[in-house]
Amino acid sequence: MSSPLRLLAASLALLGLTLAGCKKESCLGNDENCRVVSPCEKLSYSCEAASGSMLEVRTLTPTDKRVGSHDPVPGPETVPGGLNALGARGDILLGNDRAVAVIAGLGNTNLLDPNGGSLLDLSARGKDNDGLNQVLQVVGILPGDAAHYTSMKIIDERPTRVAVQFNGTLDGKPEFPIHTIYEMRPCEPGIRVRTEVLNTAVDPQLWALADGFYWSGREALPFTPAEGSGYQHPSFSLLSIGNAFKKFPYLTAAMASDPASSYAHVACGEADLLEGFQSDQISSSGLARTVVQPRDYLVFERFLAVSERGDVAAAADLALEARQKLRGEEYVTLSGVVTRNGAPVSTSGREVSVLVSEGELTTTQANRVPWTQVTPDKEGRFQARVPAGRDYVVELHAFGRKVADRQLDNVNADTDLGTLAVSSHSRLTVNVVDWVSNAGLDAEVFLVPVDDTTLKGTEGSLHGRFGTCAPWLGPPPGPSPACNRFLVRNGTATVDVPAGRFYLYAFKGPFWTIDRKTVSFGIEPTTTVELALYKLALQPLNTVGADLHVHGAASFDSSIPEYDRVLSFSATDLDVIVSTDHDVIYDYAQTVRELGLQNKMSAVVGLETTGHILWMKRPGASVPLVVGHYNFWPLEYDPTKPRNGAPPDELVEPGELFDRVKESAPPALRDQLLVQLNHPWSDAEFGRDLGYPRALALDTTKNLPASDDGTSAGMYVRTPKGGFANNGQHAQEVMNGTQNDMLLPYRAFWFYTLNQGQFAAGTANSDSHSLTDNTVGVPRNIVYTSTRPGTSFNTAEFNKALKAGESFGTNGPVIEATVDTASGPRRFGFTPFAPAADAQLRLRVSAAPWVPVEEVRIVVNGNVVKTLSGTDLFHPEDPLDLLSVESKLMRYNGNLALSELLSGVSGDAWVVVEAGARLPLAADFGGPDGKPDGIPDTGDNNGDGKVDRADIAEGSSYGPLRTPAPPTSEASSQFHFSQVVTGGYPMSFTNPFLLDRNGNGRFDAPGVAAQ
Amino acid sequence: MNPSRLLSALAVLLLLPATARAEGGCEQWLSPALAEGPITFGFLSADVATGRRACPRTEVGFGVQGGAIIETENFYGSVTGAALLSGSYAVRPDLEVFATLEATRFQFVQNATLTGTTLHLGQLTVGGTWVALTRGAFVLAPSARLQLPTSFASPRTRTLGAEVGAALLYRPTNRFEVHGYVGLDGDMGLGAGPALPRAGFLMNVGTEYALCSGFAAVLDANLHFGHRAVLDYVAPALGLRFRAGEHFGAELGASLPLVGAERALAIGGLKVTYRM
């Protein structure tokens, strides 16, 4: 070998020896006890000397209580609160003089976080305005792309900095170490974060190292300055998500509720721009997608700031300030005043908004770059920062619509825009009273455009998000007013409304009359409207009306303030509300008391477990799944515990989950526990099934096996841990949501389980998350029980009745039914009985005049055997007439011979009574597993009066099922109903009568052959 | 394996003087332009951990090689392709120096539905083969190879590697040979990240038969240990070799891992050479 080659080889060998022995910076060498370097080296805020004394870092203990958590055990509230506050014992609190953060402690799992280490809360100091569900470090969209931290170290270097470092690997992948440090320094409006992830495997990886923001809808909205973006983001599915990635200088997200908050996310390391995808559900914001070679690594440094206002500008101002410090980018401030009717705006301001975009008036929206959005203060003033030296278009929006715009050229200095004028509006005051006593009522008022001109002239949205409303009075997920409705407390409410001609509907649940007035706005600055309601004698004696599925701000997908939430219970005249927030236990009792409702309303403490982390494999499928959603109550609320005391609910089959929840309850409550299967056949959201039967793709044309036979059906019936079986729920939803759009699949599945001898009580719940997605209490359960709502309410008695099937579900019609036996009439329920030889089904169906009842159906073993309609039923002429209204409630009162109903049916039989509108046409073309499964999946989508393959959406093998369009003509019997029961149609159903016809003392289930 | 020891040994080996001359087996081959020895396409970068032929030759070559990992159950996919420039120079009849450069290396990687691609200069390997022993039809030739940190795949991390091995040739006729190779390979990372030294051991045995002066078929069996797991792969390889004229040759080859931890479904390549 020649000398040069020898020299080269020897030099390389020596170089390798040298480099291999070098100590690695930060944790890039994945050394044990390594320390991640401080993030955002170039970021510097000037500080008062005393600011350092406000730094704090500590692990939360059982004595730490969140502000506003209504801990039953009194004590000082030491942890910031807010709509999404989750901080609990074992979590880590970091704080400075401007912000306070809570990071999940090791083992404190929340939502998508496998083992702690995610950012749970970030509030402005003293504002208790946490609006974050969760921010976690991810490298992709799969469960295994999230960090699973296994060790943690608190770093206390006061007065300079406080920090906590988490070390671990990507979840289930030890070959990918990951380290994250959260750090706070004095006088900074947020938290610094640095994450390092290493590829120690031998294959390249595709990573998008980012912060995953879990908004989950109805919460903060992501806003990114990029061409055609702002609030607008490309829609995507799991398969097309790669196309939704965009680059942007910062991400902001603002929570349009109370307390308000907004966040700014800025890269502060080597990366200049962030990259990610945005949606109402989830955002990713981080490094560009990178092919990471073996032994390579990624480092992501960012600053997450929090403000105390609920508009984009509050966060964007912080983002631009940070970018000025980091990269020297200059910004200018735009300011002005918004007036209405010649005076500064003076309401909550949510209905007025100023959007600033880079571009010119001639530039299309798709080519503008929205930089900020600002909501004027109570004096109508606004100011917002934008990058210097650019052309801008300033748009003024009111009631969800653009009302003015203006162009600013080459803005190089702070600029006063002067006055922006909003078009005329009216201030509306409504008084809603009891028609008999004239006492002010808690109620809900809906505004409905009278004509097409008003509809088109008032339809608006929150800059294109959260759907459209006419009129748009406020953000649909937020407090009252929301969308086209508002709450009335003790008979009075005042809101601002746009010009137009509207119906005003007053509503107080299905068992009251509704009142309607027609009003024109825009002529007079103020208008007062009187509305009166009358409680009808509809709800049977010895019953309570209960909504068993209700969400509030404690849920990750709800931002309705607690006051509005509880007031909405009263506004629809509910007796019992089970709080079933996602993944956290919650208790409304304190607010019920604060509103003085404790003597007529009972709030039961419950939980909705919600599968987030994909893990479950069903036979024959490779895509991992979750087990869906289940409700549990009663439980104990302890806000000092993670998830307020709820047990971890990920990575377990339903039966084990039921066991866990039962075990987590105090001994006195365990025997009362009621488990409800929610929306059993709901469509999956973002790859997460919402119902276990649908996740398993059960084939309801086949009988369930007696035990696990290795099939999906076997998974459904098996007992994973020796306690509950996976199908051990006591109740399952048949009606879910005010729209009730999935009634037919839920009903079909319930009928299937009844045919299998699985007696879970059918329930009807709103699943309400706000004032607009569903109206709380619509539908509801009417439960036959001796306990009364109020302070003496007995949950054990209530649950006992529910478990026994002694209830019916309704959004209006009331069904009272008995069957004759030798010992007298028997109501429906899960105790089998032998009917008398000449037994009659004695039936009374009643409803408020505005609730049309088109059909009464008798269902035997899943088949409709008799339908009463037309002249069989009474139909009130004027749904709004109060005269002799009590005499117009009964729609059917008669007897049907059981022998006639059971003609052709051999053996034992179950009977369910339904009443309401005609059911929409539907057929079964496929299902999750691709073949007909006995569950309706496709509606008459082309409106030709039949359901065939022409109704199937293009590119799909089945579906969809759509809610019937609401009537537009007042001539329709459902016109008034659809104005206050948005998107719904009348429906009620009883639980089954179990007829032991062969008298053997038990009910012998008919199986699928019966249908 | 301790990387320090490996690199020290490599340095010593490369500094040894030549002691033998090539004759016998290496001299009798049907056509000079028809490729010899093990199939040159491997599972790693450039020609790392591939069997090296025993006989020194002077040639230049251009080729492409690639492989694919498709694991739907893990939501992972990777397709790698590289354009290779290679050359060898017979310094003496018993000594060859050689080099292979991934002139461009393309990677497509998929994580669930997210995808990414890179196109960059890849690794350069340089090495030498020394014919240490020739007895009739038998040839024994130790070789050493360095993997130089030339890849631009990452601005943060480079890979340095080395390989020592020995090629064995038994060529009883001018159209049939049995070849083999055993080699110890190792590499490590350079940069701020972890070095993560890795070592592997390759065993190759195969046979080549020239049906005529213009065509030969080669069948190899490769076993590799220690890179991913104790057993990386047991992979048969099939190659078809062609000659065109006095100087041009071509090789089309592929290998399929049957057993072991290797994730690639298969690798393959095409190489055109000009032998001088």
Q: Name A852's bridge partners.
A: none
B11, A9 contact by CB (below 8 A): yes
* Beta-sheet strands, E only, within A684-769: 731-736, 761-765
Q: How far is CA A379 from CA A349, A418, A636, A809, in A?
A: 9, 14, 45, 48
* B148 in contact with chain A, both atoms CB, cutoff 8 A: yes
CATH of the domain spanning A330-422: 2.60.40.10
The fold for domain B3-275 equals Porin (2.40.160)
- State pTM to two decimals: 0.93
Q: What digits encode the pLDDT tens for the residues B96-127?
A: 999 999 999 999 999 988 999 999 999 999 99
| pLDDT tier for residue B10 given thresholds of 50, 70 and 90 | very low
Place of tokens 């909705």: A608
A580, A635 contact by CB (below 8 A): no
Which DSSP state fits A667?
Answer: H
First to last CA, chain B: 39
Distance from CA of B172 to the nearest CA of A (A): 30
Q: How far is CA B78 from CA A43, A415, B118, in A?
A: 38, 53, 11
* B73 in contact with chain A, both atoms CB, cutoff 8 A: yes
A335, A382 contact by CB (below 8 A): yes
Which residues, including other chains, have CB under 8 Å from residue A741's CB and lie 6 or more apart?
A961, A962, A963, A983
Distance from CA of A35 to the nearest CA of B (A): 14
Amino acid at A107: G
The pair of structure tokens assigned to A747 is 């009903």
Peptide bond preceding A481: is omega within 30 degrees of 0, i.e. cis?
A: yes
Taking CB atoms and an 8 Å cut-off, how many pairs form between chains A and B?
A: 151
First to last CA, chain A: 88
CB contact under 8 A, A141 and B114: yes
Cβ under 8 Å to B: A residues 914-943 = none
**Helical (H) or strand (E) element with A338:** strand A331-340
Q: Name A868's bridge partners.
A: A856
Residue A14 dihedral angles phi and psi, to the nearest 5°: -65, -40
B/e letters for B85-102, b = 16+ CB within 10 Å, e = fewer, are: bbbbbbbebbbbbbbbbb
Question: Mean pLDDT across the stretch B204-225?
Answer: 97
Distance from CA of A196 to the nearest CA of B (A): 10
Q: Classify the C-alpha dihedral A143-A146-A152-A154 as positive or negative.
A: negative
A545, A781 contact by CB (below 8 A): yes
Polymer length in residues for chain A: 1011
A97, A187 contact by CB (below 8 A): yes
Q: How far is CA A974 from CA A793, A964, B209, in A?
A: 36, 11, 86
How far apart are alpha carbons A21 and B195 in whole angstroms?
8
B105, B142 contact by CB (below 8 A): no
* Beta-sheet strands, E only, within B72-151: 76-92, 95-111, 114-120, 124-130, 133-135, 138-148
**Separation of CA B31 from chain center:** 22
Which residues from chain B sit within 8 angstroms of residue A200, using beta carbons?
194, 196
CB contact under 8 A, A240 and B146: no
Which residues, including other chains, have CB under 8 Å from residue A364's CB and lie 6 or more apart?
none
Alpha helices in A712-859 (DSSP H): 712-717, 743-755, 795-803
**Helical (H) or strand (E) element with A975:** helix A975-980
B/e letters for A700-730, b = 16+ CB within 10 Å, e = fewer, are: beebbeeebeebbbbbbbbbbeeebbbbbbb
Q: Classify the C-alpha dihedral A221-A225-A226-A227 as positive or negative.
A: positive
The pair of structure tokens assigned to A432 is 């809603």
Report the DSSP pairing between strands A352-358 and A297-307: unpaired
Domain boundaries, chain A: 49-323, 330-422, 429-533, 543-995
Residue A871 in 3-state DSSP? helix
Which pairs from A666-669 meet CB under 8 Å and 24+ separation?
Answer: A666/A636, A669/A634, A669/A635, A669/A636, A669/A795
ipTM surpasses 0.95: no
Distance from CA of B96 to the nearest CA of A (A): 9
CATH of the domain spanning A543-995: 3.20.20.140
The secondary structure of chain A in percent helix, strand, coil, rounded to multiples of 5, reads 15, 35, 50
Q: What is the CA radius of gyration of chain B?
A: 18
Which residues from chain A sit within 8 angstroms of residue B194, using beta carbons?
24, 28-30, 198, 200, 295
Amino acid at A886: E
The secondary structure of chain B in percent helix, strand, coil, rounded to multiples of 5, reads 5, 60, 35
How far apart are alpha carbons A745 and A934 in whole angstroms?
9
Which residues, including other chains, have CB under 8 Å from residue A553's CB and lie 6 or more apart?
A83, A84, A257, A559, A560, A561, A562, A565
Place of tokens 């793709």: A697
* B276 in contact with chain A, both atoms CB, cutoff 8 A: no
Across the interface, of A14, A24, A203, the residue whose CB is closest to B194 is A24
B/e letters for A752-784, b = 16+ CB within 10 Å, e = fewer, are: bbbbbbbbbbbbbbbbbbbbbbbbbbbbbbbbb
Domain A49-323: CATH superfamily is: Golgi alpha-mannosidase II; domain 4 (2.70.98.30)
Place of tokens 């007036």: A339
- Tally DSSP H helices, then E strands, for chain A: 13, 60
Give domain A429-533's CATH architecture: Sandwich (2.60)
The pair of structure tokens assigned to A408 is 């600013």
A372, A312 contact by CB (below 8 A): yes
Using left for φ > 0, alpha for ψ between -120 and 50, and beta otherwise, residue B152 falls in alpha
* B113 in contact with chain A, both atoms CB, cutoff 8 A: yes
A723, A655 contact by CB (below 8 A): yes
A268, A326 contact by CB (below 8 A): yes
A159, A187 contact by CB (below 8 A): no
Q: What is the CA radius of gyration of chain A?
A: 30
How far apart are alpha carbons A101 and A117 in whole angstroms?
12
Choose among A547, A587, A554: nearest CA to A569. A547
pLDDT confidence of residue A345: 67
Which residues from chain B sit within 8 angstroms of residue A271, using beta carbons?
none
B250, B221 contact by CB (below 8 A): no
CB contact under 8 A, A295 and B159: yes
Report the DSSP pairing between strands A829-833 and A863-869: unpaired
DSSP states of B220-242 as a string?
Answer: EEEEEESSSSSEEEEEEEEEEEE
Best mutation target, B111, B119, B130, B267, to test chain A (most A CBs within 10 A):
B111
pLDDT confidence of residue A75: 87
Choose among A311, A332, A427, A299: nearest CA to A377. A311
The pair of structure tokens assigned to A70 is 């209504």
How far apart are alpha carbons B208 and B206 in whole angstroms?
7
Residue B81 in 3-state DSSP? strand
CB contact under 8 A, B4 and A17: yes
A338, A422 contact by CB (below 8 A): yes
- Same topology, domains A330-422 and A429-533? Answer is yes
Residue A198 dihedral angles phi and psi, to the nearest 5°: -115, 145
**Separation of CA A334 from chain center:** 35
How far apart are alpha carbons A457 and A471 in whole angstroms?
8
Q: What parts of chain A have a pLDDT lower than 50?
A: 1, 4-5, 20-21
Residue A982 dihedral angles phi and psi, to the nearest 5°: -60, 120
* B263 in contact with chain A, both atoms CB, cutoff 8 A: yes
* B8 in contact with chain A, both atoms CB, cutoff 8 A: yes
